[in-house]
Structure 1
Amino acid sequence: MQFPEITPFSVPTATMNKDQTHWARPWHGFPNSRGLGSFGDANCMEQLLVHCANAIESSDATVAQQILWVLNNTAPPDGDSNQRLTCAFLRALVVRAAKSGTCKMLAAMANTHCNLSIDIHTFSVIELASFVDLTPWYRFGFTAANAAILEAVEGYSVIHIVDLSLTHCMQIPTLIDAIANRLKGPPLVKLTVAGGGTEHVPPMLDLSYQELGSKLVNFARSRNVVLEFRAIASSYTDGFSSLIEQLQVQHLVYAESGAGEALVINCHMMLHYIPEETVSPLSNVNSNPYSFESLSTQSLRTMFLKALRVLDPTIVVLVDEDADLTSNNLVCRLRSAFNYLWIPYDTVDTFLPQGSKQRQWFEADICWKIENVIAHEGLQRVERLEPKSRWAQRMRNAGFRGVYFGQEAISEVKTMLDEHAAGWGLKKEEDHLLLTWKGHNVVFATAWVPA
């Protein structure tokens, strides 16, 4: 990641000596440089970020600048994990101030003295495959989902997989490998993806979905599996309405023909981009795409899940990050994000050396997420994670019931975790699986069938 180059901010000339290029003195009530060390713990940094957010929201430029000075001197972009985390939030708050214009002096400082761009890497297929293998963050969901899918589609000669994945089908080759080894012979596999759904959300890929599809078809052929690939132009912004419409048409065709086809809906860290109830105004989104109730009474997430239920899928696998970033209150959102996103910064120190390209890419993705959560509002704020409990309630309300992950799935996840740092763990809650880091929930995996 090209982490933001946040150098010590300049200040109004009234508080700076004529010949100085650094602070003449900190404002009253804040420590001098020798006393800054006590501000380095995560709790203190979180409190300073909260005070800074409040100052920006109330257009109190003086207090905001005071706090920014302290944070800028205690949270270097090349520091420890807490400092790098705080630096990313500091940058996001400056971006918010610059966007809103509520603190004109801060906006001027941001534009003049700070490089606020994030260098997001665009991956080749090989790079992305290697990138997602770095940690269990994605591999956990891949492993749990593939095990559940294989069990659900046993005995079917045709398997239709609808892959809604943030990682551009990186899960699919492993699933094809497993399908190819089935004792009764490999079935026909149909793969449908929402092409262009997250083209501006990292990680980003350097080729089109048509090109990706060709690579997957060739890979499947090398494993003696017949794969049909289809990319449908559909986006999360309207709840994948185009995708749902085409799936509904196909569902009617197969229902009339009586053909036996397993329908697998694989949702991997994608559904939280669909707008939910706190988005305002939802009227900007295509109204009523699934012929359910109006948007005033249901969110697009609810409508999407109910549309899936009508399709009567064989299994729906839902994997996502276990956090709540939906609050319309900036401070609540900041606290929630800070107390969740310390995890990737902490984990990266265990497996990637400082200065490595992969570490830069990894932290740039987190930095992008933090900026989206903190600096943006309305439909531009797409990082709207919901915790496992809320997704489970949504699924039940849409007419699904949870199914247990078998012992084989649990064993495979544990084997995968053994390949990574000792801080990773597995927790089972009811019929769900949870990836943990040092005991803290990170990613959940759930499997559902029509009730």
Structure 2
Amino acid sequence: MNKNQIHRARPWPGLLTSKGVGSFGDANCMEQLLVHCANAIESNDATLAQQILWVLNNIAPPDGDSNQRLTCAFLRALTVRAAKSGTCKMLAAMANAHCSLSIDIHTFSVIELVSFVDLTPWHRFGFTAANAAILEAVEGYPVIHMVDLSLTHCLQIPTLIEAIANRFERPPLVKLTVASATTEYIPPILDLSYQELGSKLVNFARSRNVVLEFQAIPSSYADGFSSLIEQLRVQHLLYSESGEALVLNCHMMLHYIPEETLSPLSHVNSNLYSFESSSTKSGRTLFLKALRVLDPTIVVLVDEDADLTSNNLVCRLRSAFNYLWIHYDTVDTFLPEGSKQRQWYEADICWKIENVIAHEGLQRVERLEPKSQWVKRMRNAGFRGVNFGEDAISEVKTMLDEHAAGWGLKTEDDLILTWKGHNVVFATVWMPA
């Protein structure tokens, strides 16, 4: 059955008429239908799931408005979940007639990724706020050791190097450390290795009269970046007396660390984590406590302000639906329908939705936590919050002026990026208590 045939299909008796299709098109109704579909799939009720799927197929085309495209992505993820579990297999064939279950994730060149990130404040907000806080914290240090745990492949670093070159008469030595095994399968995906990327950054810094040393440590979120932490611990012992500022820049990466201690952490260096029992503490708690032992000059934590950690599928679906609509709503304001960049953008969001809805255990890595939970974690790990200065707030506001009118800024103890009044991304600054 092709797409056109589906849209001409005879309404399911007792549920929907051609006149009624439009009334099902609002976001609340779509969310309820998705919830019913999820419950039917979880209870192996193939008949009910198929009926709800038919309705969703009619009201949520993949090329519709923002709510329809959002719903279509969730429908696709639910179908993948059903197919993975071996139940309701007929759903996969039905959904494939409506839209492909495969996601075409684009591999970016550096130039493409820079242009892509510049389209929206989603990442630029964190870059701008973090750079301003970092520059203030490292004033007077001869060496800055920047540990960049970022989803965007060090795209923040060139703007930081520019700022260092402009701010300091004699720029400090900059050491940059990254975890090279971090985002191999998580979009956005870059077509360069970290070694190649490091060479480009070193050359860029040289062009700005800044000396940059680059190292990529094979380390991953899956085991709480244990290799990275151990390497930093050794280096800290060597350079703690040299006046080196240690900066931890965590940009939308820490939520990939398992919030529950999983088996990969069992081999972590016993001396490093000897102050906690790994059987009772989450991987995130262990990581943050290990950071505190390093006594960093500053830690910047930027992430999306949502909660996708529930073990209950319906709770997770509701939370994701009521956050990820923002992605689809914003895309309509800055990318034309049918553009390649829009396809890339929405494919990345589809990947996130599938991971949240269709996967469990170690495979489900999109486990966002709200700002309030991260604040609690940071304080419990021995950090104190630091307010952003007026310069940081001013720079973020200037950056937002370059984008659509729907973006806003909340200036509480921390900074929060908003879209039409809804929290999107938070930025926080921490120092050892």
TM (norm. structure 1) is 0.92
Shift of residue 34 of structure 1?
A: 2.9
For 2:320, the aligned partner's letter is A
Shift of residue 35 of structure 1?
A: 1.7
Shift of residue 198 of structure 1?
A: 1.0
**1:433 is aligned to 2:415:** yes
**1:397 is aligned to 2:377:** no
Shift of residue 104 of structure 1?
A: 3.0
Shift of residue 105 of structure 1?
A: 2.5
**1:134 is aligned to 2:119:** yes
2:155 is matched with 170
2:354 is matched with 371
SS at 2:87's partner residue? coil
1:435-450 → structure 2 map (5 Å cutoff): 435-450=417-432
1:30-429 → structure 2 map (5 Å cutoff): 30-110=15-95, 115-255=100-240, 258-277=241-260, 282-283=262-263, 285-289=265-269, 290-292=272-274, 293-429=276-412
Shift of residue 30 of structure 1?
A: 1.4
For 1:435, the aligned partner's letter is L
Moved over 6 A (4+): none
Contact 2:222–2:264 (8 Å) recurs in 1: no
Distance in 2 separating the partners of 1:114 and 1:184: 57
Shift of residue 102 of structure 1?
A: 2.0
TM (norm. structure 2) is 0.96
CA distance 1:366–1:114, shift in 2 (3 Å): closer
RMSD between aligned residues: 1.7
Shift of residue 110 of structure 1?
A: 4.9
Shift of residue 296 of structure 1?
A: 1.8
Distance in 2 separating the partners of 1:142 and 1:109: 43
Contact 2:2–2:97 (8 Å) recurs in 1: no
Distance in 2 separating the partners of 1:301 and 1:446: 16
Contact 2:266–2:278 (8 Å) recurs in 1: no
Shift of residue 317 of structure 1?
A: 0.1
Shift of residue 101 of structure 1?
A: 1.1
SS at 2:103's partner residue? coil
Contact 1:288–1:295 (8 Å) recurs in 2: no
Distance in 1 separating the partners of 2:98 and 2:66: 24
Contact 1:159–1:264 (8 Å) recurs in 2: yes
Contact 2:299–2:430 (8 Å) recurs in 1: yes
Shift of residue 28 of structure 1?
A: 3.5
Distance in 2 separating the partners of 1:82 and 1:98: 24
Shift of residue 284 of structure 1?
A: 5.0
Residues 397-431 of structure 1, C-alpha deviations (whole Å, 9 max, x = no match): 000000000000000000000000000000022x2
Residues 176-224 of structure 1, C-alpha deviations (whole Å, 9 max, x = no match): 0000112431110000000121110000000100000000000000000
SS at 1:312's partner residue? coil
SS at 1:118's partner residue? coil
> Greater CA deviation, 409-418 or 291-300?
291-300
Distance in 1 separating the partners of 2:264 and 2:291: 23
SS at 2:424's partner residue? strand
Q: How many positions carry a matched residue from both structures?
A: 430
Contact 1:8–1:72 (8 Å) recurs in 2: no
Shift of residue 287 of structure 1?
A: 4.1
Shift of residue 254 of structure 1?
A: 1.5
Gaps of 5+ in 1: 11-20
SS at 1:294's partner residue? coil
Distance in 1 separating the partners of 2:122 and 2:3: 32
Contact 1:26–1:66 (8 Å) recurs in 2: no
CA distance 1:64–1:410, shift in 2 (3 Å): same
Shift of residue 107 of structure 1?
A: 4.0
For 1:444, the aligned partner's letter is F
CA distance 1:411–1:113, shift in 2 (3 Å): closer
SS at 1:349's partner residue? helix
Contact 1:9–1:109 (8 Å) recurs in 2: no
Residues 303-351 of structure 1, C-alpha deviations (whole Å, 9 max, x = no match): 0000100000000000000000000000000000000000010001111
Distance in 1 separating the partners of 2:149 and 2:129: 16
Distance in 1 separating the partners of 2:430 and 2:331: 32
Distance in 2 separating the partners of 1:6 and 1:417: 43
